[in-house]
A and B are shown apart, each in its own frame.
Chain A
Amino acid sequence: MSQLSYREAVNGALIQEMERDDRVFVYGCDVADHKRIYGSTTDLVERFGPERCFSTPISEDAMTGMGLGAAISGLRPIHVHIRVDFLLLAMNQLANMISTARYMSGGDLSVPMVIRAVVGRGWGQSAQHSKSLHSVFAHLPGIRVVAPTTPNDVKGLMSAAIRDDNPVVMLEHRWLYDTVGEVDEGDAVVPLGKARVVRAGTDLTIVATSWMVVEALRAADLLAERGVSVEVIDPRTLAPLDEESIVASVQKTRHCIVADNDWSFCGFGAEVAAMVSERCFGQLGAAVSRVGWAFVPCPTTRCLENEFYPNANDLVRAAERSLGLDAMDLSGFDFYTYENRFKGPF
């Protein structure tokens, strides 16, 4: 075990997999510039040369198709986007080509490709630098979607994604880059499609994605003060979803909140809520509820942004509603701490 930041864990996984397999290469806008995608692509060009790590023109559509071509002919491309929003320019390749290539070839082709994209937040990222879109990607058959939350998970899941023979969209939240945690040494692959119980509890399950795992843990701390025991589950892989882990937890706690780092409408939270309602209907003590972004484009100014993003406060209130409890006193508690630490600009 060693202590690594999320960015170091991403970087470590890339180096490890590129050393292990010469089919792996990393490309995208700015991957080889002096900033190296927040340090996540540090040292790659120095270690592996410009053939295996190169910056590209701002041509997301063509560069995504390029990855598809490389993948179906035996290489393992990793395409990097510094914001998920930019990946929308490649949506045709993703939705029409990459996700269908195996099926439409009757199983002749496989597409071992990883698409990394960073979810932005804060310091005025606003409407075009803050999207997550995991439910959009997960909606498409033929793609895996992963959103790791801890340094250990991002390292292990990145390795798994690179070794997987399918296209994997890997969503990395910008704020998580600075988090530090224990990371398993060496070849520690975290399997795709397995959720993780981040914190065990007995009264209520919070299924949380991406940054909302951080908020869920804070809410769990607050609720523990009044004797409520919260179980926090991080699905980690959103497609395919580890339904069994979620169902097992809700069968125990009988209460479920989905805290999704996205809009709720037609989103991942709705998927989990429907699945839990179908599979745990008779055992539920309350309807499954969802906590997500305000259903508006993300505003720039901080005061509105604070209203846009839900936090631990919203989760505590949702938990209280689910359990039929009075609202606890949260005055004097500062819910906006990370916002004050993140100085941007990007």
Chain B
Amino acid sequence: MTARAQALTLYESLLLIRRAEEKIQAHYAEDDMKTPVHLYIGQEAVAAGVVNGLDPADPIVGTYRSHGIYLARTDDPEGFFAELYGRVGGPAKGKAGSMHMARPQDGLFLTSAVVATTIPVALGLAFTQQYRKTGRSVAAFFGDGAMDEGVFWESLNFACLKRLPVLFVCEDNGLAIHTPSVARRGYKSVADAVGGFDCHFVESESTDPAEISDLTRDALARQREDGRPVFMRLRCYRYVEHVGPREDRDFHLGYRREEEFEYWRARDPVRCQRERLIKLGVPEAEVAALETKIDERLSRCVAEAQKAPFPEPEELHRDVLA
């Protein structure tokens, strides 16, 4: 793929996520999307970059803040909005909603509303790859808050012990709900804490999805070479509140600082990628056409979802057991 084509692909991925989240913001107050939303605005380069760097067949697990990885991996905003609106056309027929949005057929196996709980699931997915010698690796996305959980350390330990093909992708936005990392960590740094484990360690605060994609590809190559799992600490910033549609500018409450917000906003992944496209010589009209295409698609998704059928009452008892 040429640099230009790659840049366009990544822009499309970033923009699909950003605009889908903005659609949620625009419609949430209508009270039809009855599902707690943990928006991804500001962090898009991580999902777009890592998913781009993975093989499309590499399994993924995520968290309740996984709209980004869902859209980056599945290219299914239709199902995405149907699920948010609780309609039968969603990947889980409305039973999952925002916090459990997944699509196993595309390798996105599980997301979860309880912090750190899909990290060990990635071990099992990786165990299957190792057992079946598929050569695939498994990406476990989690926030930095998940590093406060014992199961994270249990999982990292086991992956290193068994040399499981796991990519631990820590989306470090510096906040666990409203508690900054400095108030939660008894270790000197993430690099120090993870450094004692027998794994590769990668750290970045890039908002350039191409750079994150390259880091992912390099990390996977190293992991496949010597079998050691990879820990990626990808710093990022969410512009929105922990849960809900609002942009979080509650600086007066003291848990986040305006300078920090502005530092990240100046490196906004979507705007910067657009600038890169123009620099690469992509005509403004072509970029605008892409944006219009995405906007129109998402508007259709929302309109379709709003009039789509709800699941029948019998659906309540379906799929409890196989």
- By a beta-carbon cutoff of 8 Å, the part of chain A in contact with chain B is 25, 51, 56-57, 59, 61-75, 77, 92-93, 96-97, 101-112, 141-142, 144, 164-166
Contacts and interface: CB of A to CB of B under 8 A. Distances in A.
Contacts of A101: 110
A57 B124 contact: no
Contacts of A73: 59, 109, 124-125, 128-129
A103 B122 CA distance: 19
B95 interface: yes
Contact of A102 (B91, B124, B320): B320
Interface string B116-144: 01111111111111011000001000000
A72 B321 contact: no
B120 A69 contact: yes
Given A61-B154, A66-B120, A105-B102, A72 B110 contact: yes
B161 A57 contact: yes
A77 B321 contact: no
Contacts of B189: none
A106 B120 contact: no
A107 B127 contact: no
B91 A72 contact: no
A110 B119 CA distance: 19
B131 A62 contact: no
A250 to B, nearest CB: 27
B112 A96 contact: yes
A56 B119 CA distance: 17
A216 B95 CA distance: 44
A70 B118 CA distance: 12
Given A51-B131, A59-B157, A92-B114, A69 B121 contact: yes
B93 interface: yes
Contact of B127 (A75, A104, A108): A75
A92 to B, nearest CB: 6
A64 B150 CA distance: 13
Given A51-B131, A97-B112, A69 B124 contact: yes
Interface in B73-97: 90-93, 95-96
Contacts of B200: none
A3 to B, nearest CB: 35
A75 B128 contact: yes
B155 interface: yes
A65 B155 contact: yes
B34 to A, nearest CB: 16
Q: Top 3 nearest A-B pairs by Cβ distance?
A: A69-B124, A65-B120, A62-B154
Residue from the set B120, B123, B158, B318 with the largest chain A CB neighbour count within 10 Å: B120
Nearest to A141: B320
A321 B279 CA distance: 90
Nearest to A112: B322
B321 A62 contact: no
B156 to A, nearest CB: 9
A70 B128 contact: yes
A61 B92 contact: no
Contact of B322 (A25, A75, A77, A110): A110
Given A72-B109, A73-B128, 12 more contacts: A57-B157, A57-B161, A63-B158, A64-B120, A69-B127, A71-B124, A104-B96, A105-B110, A105-B319, A106-B319, A108-B104, A142-B320
A72 B112 contact: no
A108 B121 contact: no
B160 to A, nearest CB: 11
B128 A96 contact: no
Given A93-B120, A104-B96, A61 B150 contact: yes
Contact of A74 (B110, B118, B126, B128): B128
Contacts of A62: 119-120, 123, 151, 154-155, 157-158
B96 A105 contact: yes
Nearest to A54: B162
Contacts of B233: none
Contacts of B123: 62, 65-66, 69
